[in-house]
Structures are given as structure tokens and as C-alpha cells.
Structure 1
Amino acid sequence: MLSLILAALFWVVLHLGAAGPLRPALVARLGEGGYRGLFAGLSAVGLIWLVLAYRGAPYVALWPPAPFAVAAVLVFAGFLLLAYSLGPTNPTQVASERLGQGGLQVAGITRITRHPMLWAFTLWALAHLLVNGHVAGLLLFGAILVTALNGMVSIDRKRAASLGAAWDDFARRTSRLPFAAILAGRGELHPGELASWRLGLGVALFVAALWLHGFL
């Protein structure tokens, strides 16, 4: 269990520290490309460490697991968000700061949330946290959940600093929380902008995950 605790701490500190307050100093020393390469490498190491430590951790129950149907709904929604997040037009994606030139378009999935990929990770982690009511699950899925939620705040802060007024307008017309801007009257839902092939991709990913879940 100690290895999993250390792996979870490493993951959280890396994403809250190196991707947060320490980022400017690291970029100044390594350059943007060097920083991103280092961060990606350390993230891969952290993820592998988490998985291996989780597999070797003892079972210590904390709460009764939630019904599988609850997790399935959350994971399905997560795969849909993941499918719609893939693309070059969302300014919250990695290396998308250049999209601020000439304004930021609000269309498709960004009308629902400006952080579709991080919400996909959030829902995935939450689903697995609910159905794995033990200490090891809390450490693994809790670490991923914390960093996904923090990532939304961190990205918004970075984009506000780099894109200025263009980001302020984009943020006003969108929301972190899915559908919040629409419910508040700051945005509109246009279902026609949500490509049907992405819906099919999300369904296919969900079915594949169910099929491979036991093996994985």
C-alpha cells in the first residue's frame, strides 16, 4: 500500500505543482517543448507506477460498491465527451493558445463545456471510485479525479493570462460545468453542430471498453 500512496502523491504533486506554480520557471529553463516533453514523460512514469502499485495493493474495504449501472452511465457519458473533445478547435486543449488569434469560436461541444476531455477523465474516475469502495481505489481513482478537476481551473487561468480579452469573451459564453452556460442564458445548444460520427465513435469506445474490461 505504501507504494500506491507514494504513486498517488507523485501524480498529484506533479500535476498540481509542475503544471501549476512551477510551470513558468520550468518553461524558462527548459523551453516550451522541453517542458512538455519532461511533463509527458513524468506523467507516463506516474501512470505506470499508479497501475502497478494498484495491482499489488491489498484490499481494504471502505464502502459498499455502487451498482454497475451507475458506473456504466457515467463511463458512457465520459466516452461521448472524449470523442467530442478530439479536434483542433477547442482552446482548452494542449498547444491551442494560437487559436486566440482572431477570436475564439464557440461551437459544438464547447457550447456544453469548454473542458470535454477533462470531464471525460472526471466521469471515468468518479465511476470507478464509486464501484471500487476500497482504499486502493480511493488512492488511484481519487488522484486522477483531483488532477482532472484541478486541471480545468489551471487551464482557465493559463488561457486567461495568454489570450486576454479573447479568452474572457469565450469564457463568458461557455462554462466548466456541463450545460451551466446554457442554463444561465449565456449560451445556446445547437445539436446540429455535434457531428454524428463522433457520437458513433463514443459508442464504439464504450463498447470496446466493456468488451476488453476484464482483460485490462
Structure 2
Amino acid sequence: MEGVGTLALAALVWVGVHVGIAGTAVRRAAVARLGENGFRIGFSVLSVAAIFFLVRSYGASGTTVLWTAPEWLRWLLALVMLAAFVLFAASVSAPNPTMAGGERALGGEARGVQRITRHPMLWSFALWAAVHMLGNGDTASLLFFGAFGVTALAGMPSIDAKVAAREPEAWSRFAARTSILPFGAIAAGRNRLDLAELGWKPWAIGLALWAVLLAFHRTLFGVPAVLPG
């Protein structure tokens, strides 16, 4: 199939940039040579180039349909996307130690979405990727969305290790009250569920984004979100 090899290469480049550089000895060597700011600038440029290559390759790639999702599954996946949007909104609504600028949250109690998972944004990306892989069911989508899913899932322990190395004592206390796996700390009795702490903004923003994408998915991306064309 024309373009599939290029798409596979683009997916490998994207994963390699984020899994093979971020949080590895390669990153430490680059920071030692370029400085933290220099590395961030270089990594940002490399990431933009990688995602441009990936998106362009996906648009030009041929594909093979492996399965067709039934309507009930498409509606179920749409509900999973609602959860992904709420997680994303919650991740940007309050400081989080696993995100840039969230270091102060290490010293306090794990609250809000942190009770559910310490990586709400990455889980929102992972769910988004999984929904589109299952819903589309074709080879190009498996490569494209799978690349994002791999980097989101691999990024969680990588970020944990980086923050733990920077603030070992504070991180140890925070990690004891939280989990990577959603609801893991709650199920283990190390935390409790308190949806009221999330506030109304994540629910409202998540629901609004979900409704807009559900209504305009065909207009924006050429395919309907739920109902077959």
C-alpha cells in the first residue's frame, strides 16, 4: 500500500523522539551540552517536525480496513472520549507535580484529579488514541494513533522518574498517595474519591468540547464521530 512505509517510519520517529530522548541518557547528555533552555528549544523544534511528518504521512497513506466497529461500540467509545475530555480539562484546571509548573503541588495533599491519577493529561491522550484505533479499525489509524498512545503511556513512568530524581522526599510522599493507573490508589486504600474537589469547570469544559466534536467531527475531519457515513 502506497505511503504505509512512510507512515510507519513517521510513527517510529515520533515515538523515538519522545521515548528515546525524553527522560533518557540522551536527554541528560544534550542538557549537559546545550543547557536546559537550549535542550527545550531543540526538543520543541524536533517535536514539531516529527508531528508534522506524522500527520502529513497519515494523510497521504493508503490503508486496509481490518474491522468495522458496530454502532453500539462507537457510542461506547464516544462516552470514553467524554471521560478523556474531562480528564484533559481537569489536568489544566489545577497544578499537578507531573506537569510543568506544578512542583508546588508536591508538598500538599493529593486532591481533585490527583486522587484518580497523577497523569490526567497523558491518560486523556491515551484514551483518545485507543478510541480512534478501535473505532477506525484500519492499518493507518493503528500506526498513527498508536504512536500517540505509546508515547502517552511510556511518558508516565518517565515523568515520574524525572520528578522523583529532582525531589526524592516530596515525591515519595506524593507517590504513596497517588497512582499512575486511574483509581489505583483509591482501590488500594491509599486515597479516596472526592469528585466535588474537581469543581464544575472540568465537567463543563469537558462536556462542551465533547459536544462540539460530536457535532462537528465530520466537518472538521471528514468522518462522523459515531454514526456511519
Q: Same fold (TM over 0.5)?
A: yes
Match of 1:140 among 144, 150, 154: 144
1:94-113 deviation digits (Å, cap 9, x = unpaired): 2434654xx24311110110
Change in 2 beyond 3 A, CA 1:30/1:104: farther
**Is residue 54–residue 136 contact of structure 1 (8 Å, CA) maintained in 2?**
yes
- The alignment partner of 1:65 has SS state of coil
- The alignment partner of 1:111 has SS state of helix
Match of 2:19 among 16, 19, 23: 16
Q: Give 1:96's aligned residue.
A: 102
Name the aligned partner's letter for residue 196 of structure 2. Answer: G
**Is residue 11–residue 54 contact of structure 2 (8 Å, CA) maintained in 1?**
yes
Unaligned 5+ runs, structure 1: none
Q: Give 1:84's aligned residue.
A: 90
- Misfit runs of 4+, over 3 Å: 95-100
- Structure 2 CA distance, aligned partners of 1:87 and 1:99? 13
Q: Give 1:3's aligned residue.
A: 6
- Structure 2 CA distance, aligned partners of 1:210 and 1:40? 31
The alignment status of 1:122 with 2:126, answered yes or no, reads: yes
Higher mean C-alpha displacement, 178-187 vs 190-199? 190-199
- Structure 1 CA distance, aligned partners of 2:17 and 2:205? 31
Unaligned 5+ runs, structure 2: 222-229
- Structure 1 CA distance, aligned partners of 2:55 and 2:154? 21
Q: Give 2:205's aligned residue.
A: 201
Name the aligned partner's letter for residue 213 of structure 1. Answer: H
Equivalent pairs counted in the alignment come to 214
**Is residue 119–residue 148 contact of structure 1 (8 Å, CA) maintained in 2?**
yes
- The alignment partner of 1:213 has SS state of helix
1:40-81 deviation digits (Å, cap 9, x = unpaired): 222122222211111111121223335311220121110000
**Is residue 112–residue 178 contact of structure 1 (8 Å, CA) maintained in 2?**
yes
Match of 1:172 among 173, 176, 183: 176
- Structure 2 CA distance, aligned partners of 1:147 and 1:174? 21
Q: CA deviation at 1:87?
A: 3.9
- The alignment partner of 2:189 has SS state of coil
Q: CA deviation at 1:198?
A: 1.9
**Is residue 23–residue 159 contact of structure 2 (8 Å, CA) maintained in 1?**
no
Q: Give 1:155's aligned residue.
A: 159
Percent identity reads 47
**Is residue 125–residue 148 contact of structure 2 (8 Å, CA) maintained in 1?**
yes
Q: TM-score, normalised by structure 2?
A: 0.88
Question: What is the CA RMSD across the aligned residues, in angstroms?
Answer: 1.5
Higher mean C-alpha displacement, 62-71 vs 16-25? 62-71
The alignment status of 1:71 with 2:39, answered yes or no, reads: no
- Structure 2 CA distance, aligned partners of 1:176 and 1:104? 18
